[in-house]
Amino acid sequence: MKIQNKIYPSYFLYGALLLYCLLYVLPSFVGIYLSFTDWSRFTDTISFIGLDNYKTIFSMEENYLLYVWNTLKFTVITSLMKTVLGLGLAIVLSREILARNFHRAIIFLPAVLSFLITGLTFQSILEPSGLLNSTLKAAGLDMLTRQWLFEGGWPFISVMAIDIWKGVGYIMTIFMAGMTTISKDYYEAAEIDGAKFWGKFRYITLPLLMPAFAITIVLNLVYGLRVFDIIFVTTNGGPGDQTEVLYTVIFKMFGYGYYGLGTALSSLMLVIMVVVGYFVIKLMNKEVDA
């Protein structure tokens, strides 16, 4: 019986590993191979063309590097803002304030809304005759009205703001969960020693919240690099290609029938995510060792 108990878990482990390889690893390698071909709806055969697709991506005559930059910029800015605002809200709403649970629920509510509903709602709010501009005009602030999704650098700022508004409540709950694990004895001892708010935050709250920081970094980076829904619904990458990111371009490439180029972009995204994942794992390992 003891031998059987040791063997059965191994079967489940090997089965799960095989399933993972069939569903995830194998398609990834197939996609990488296809990125070196001219696969498209316009050809009857698939031919190996080497690095031509990647030369197209990194060509200065094309805008693909702009899409990579947009993706990285979106990821870094939204991750930073959601982390800072989420931490600040967690600190404020962890105190005894009036209607604390109500405020928590209101801030967390956008996280449970679908991206489709969120995008369509803000699309109507931010259009030239939408709620935001109408409110500004009613308040006599006509000089602040903008074409938020169509003018200058505002479209990219707008989609980032929408994403931050939607995600900050979820990040807040992670930090609040981490703060519940910190014993009040630390704060009481610090108060006895004369520590103020900043001292308690710097030497108690911040170090003991590092596991929560690691989780939020992983979640924010993974979502930021894979962003698609909110941009596709609100701007569809426009105006022009100002808000275009890698996944919206990949979607359009497959829609246009350029499958080889689309898989090359997907492979590039895979490399970026592997590199980012490596550094995140290194960061988490350092926190564990600490």
CA atoms within 13 A on the CB side of 136: 16
pLDDT in tens, 154-210: 999 999 999 999 999 999 999 999 998 888 888 888 888 888 888 888 888 888 898
Instruction: Name the one residue in this structure whose structure tokens are 């080889």.
Output: 260
According to the per-residue pLDDT averaged within each range, which of 12-21, 128-137, 181-190 is highest?
A: 128-137
Q: Is the pLDDT of residue 12 over 80?
A: no
pLDDT at 1: 46
Distance between CA atoms of residues 99 and 33, nearest Å: 57
Q: Is the pLDDT of residue 242 over 50?
A: yes
Residue (of 80, 62, 61, 82) closest to 72 by Cα position? 80
SS3 content of the chain, % helix, strand, coil (to 5): 75, 0, 25
Distance between CA atoms of residues 204 and 69, nearest Å: 37
Q: At what angle do helices 64-93 and 259-289 cross, to 10 degrees?
A: 40
pLDDT at 24: 86
pLDDT at 272: 86
Q: Is the pLDDT of residue 287 over 70?
A: no
- Tell me whether residue 264 is exposed, middle or buried, using C-beta atoms within 10 angstroms of its C-beta: 0 to 12, 13 to 18, 19 or more: buried
- The two tokens of residue 90 are 């967690």
Whole-number average pLDDT of the chain? 88
Q: What is the DSSP letter of 257?
A: T
pLDDT in tens, 154-168: 999 999 999 999 999
- Tell me whether residue 222 is exposed, middle or buried, using C-beta atoms within 10 angstroms of its C-beta: 0 to 12, 13 to 18, 19 or more: middle
Residue (of 16, 230, 2, 266) closest to 117 by Cα position? 230
pLDDT at 76: 93
Q: What is the mean pLDDT of residues 86-110?
A: 90
Q: Is the pLDDT of residue 282 over 80?
A: no
Predicted TM-score (pTM) of this structure: 0.88
Measured in residues, the chain has a length of 290
pLDDT in tens, 30-41: 989 999 999 999
The three-state secondary structure class of 48 is strand
pLDDT at 4: 52
Distance between CA atoms of residues 209 and 90, nearest Å: 11
- The two tokens of residue 76 are 């870094």
